[in-house]
Amino acid sequence: MEPTKVIQVDTVKDDLLEVQELLAKHRLVGEMARRQDSPRKEVVDNLVQRQHIAELRHLLARLPSVSVALILNALPEEERLLVWKELAEERLDDILELLSDDIREALVGDGHQISSKVMVNIFELHNGRLRQTDIKRPQDFAGCQPIWVDLVAPTPKVREWVGQHFGLELPDPDNLTDLEASARFYIEDNGEVHLHSDFLLNLNDESRNVPVAFILHNEILFSVRSEELPVFRLQRMRARTQPGYVTDGKDVLLDLYAADAEYSADRLEDVYAELEQVGKKVLSTRLSDDEAGEILGDIARQEDLNGRVRRNVLDTRRALSFLVRSHLLTPHQNDDSRQILRDIESLDSHTSFLFGKINFLMDAVVGFININQNQRVSKLTTFSIIFMPINILAGMGGMSEFSMMTSGIPWEYSYAAFTVAMGAVGWVTYLGLKLHQKREALRNRKLA
């Protein structure tokens, strides 16, 4: 091995050890914070955690993209996601190209890194691959021949100068949800094709459908949305790394819909996995009310995600059907559209099955809650039966006749004897109830 390569490998190893050390400190402080009850101690731990994250971010900023990619490949999944979220957004695409396919699609597909800045990107075909160019001012369009113009959270001014350059009017992404369903797919008199579709975004803490506006104008695809989406980032990576993946704007549009269907299928697999874990808890243990409440929350989140996936694939089906009916696609693109529609149809049965499984688990958890409530009511009933004769005797003991009957006996002895008698009656009643319950259980076993 050459001396330079040995030095580079040793340097990467040192950087990896430094990253792992910072992650270990971050994890240790987090575990200590969860065990602490003091609010002041929790604030201090949070400050220490932020310091470790800031050190990690600073370390990653000075490392070359190759070193960061090697570090991401070497880290376990949980630590890899933590490091991925601390990378600068402008470096993400370059680093993704250096990762393996499995790690790349896992990082992009789960939406752990979401863009928050205004972006205008154009994509040109170069040797069969998409070449991405960031556009920051109108002069940057000079000499460009894009097949795809992608706008993320554009300001009105940005939409204006992009629209003026290409001769069209771009919609406001914040107003896309105001459209009626019947007005989401149409063709203008000048030949512009407009499609307004929902794309699924599933994050760690929430899931939602993000509206995206597509316009096919002069063989160029324009996409406008309010935030970055995993499907779009995944599409960009595939088109940039695989020659011949797309040839024109309509290919890009179809592949976005195909990637959306694939992303929805991945999310359904996540729902399957989560419900499997919930099912093990429900069917193998005795649930307390608190545990049942947590499980109901998990089931509700999976039901919401499953419903959003169903809505998402329904919207994608309507968009593809519109494209096929409009005779805008080539025969090869029509075949691709029909294949995507077949994939979507296969997802419908999965969502229906998951809804049935969710309803079953929901009923099972509610059944456990009812059982717990019935047991509490049964205990209260038992106590009521035990103390009912005692209450009757106590009422009799409080009457004046009892004092007349025990007038010749000191009250200490008379009431002590009366108390012992009430206790004996309660004990006999308790034993009688236990014997009755045993007989009922024995009879139920014989009937079973």
Q: What is the pLDDT of residue 394?
A: 62
The yes-or-no verdict on residue 332 having pLDDT over 70 is yes
pLDDT tens digits for range 230-248 = 888 887 777 777 777 788 8
pLDDT tens for each residue of 357-399: 888 888 888 887 777 777 777 777 766 766 666 666 666 655 5
Report the pLDDT averaged over residues 286-312: 85
pLDDT over 60 at 181, yes or no = no
115 confidence band (pLDDT: 50, 70, 90): very low
Task: Give pLDDT, residue 237.
Answer: 76
pLDDT band at 229 (very low <50, low <70, confident <90, very high): confident
Of residues 356 and 51, which shows the higher confidence score?
356
Per-residue pLDDT at 3 exceeds 50: no
Lowest mean pLDDT among 30-34, 82-86, 111-115, 306-310: 111-115
pLDDT at 422: 73
CB 245 within 8 A of CB 238: yes
* Residue 151: pLDDT over 60: yes
Q: Is pLDDT of 26 > 60?
A: yes
* pLDDT at position 448: 59
pTM: 0.64
Q: What is the pLDDT of residue 242?
A: 74
* Residue 54: band (very low, low, confident or very high) from pLDDT cuts 50, 70, 90: confident
> In this model, does residue 214 exceed pLDDT 90?
yes
Q: What is the mean pLDDT of residues 298-327?
A: 90
Q: Given a cut of 90, is residue 101 above it in pLDDT?
A: no
Closest by CA to 199, choosing from 68, 79, 315, 283, is 315
pLDDT value at position 148?
92
What are the sequence ranges of the domains in the chain? 1-116, 375-447
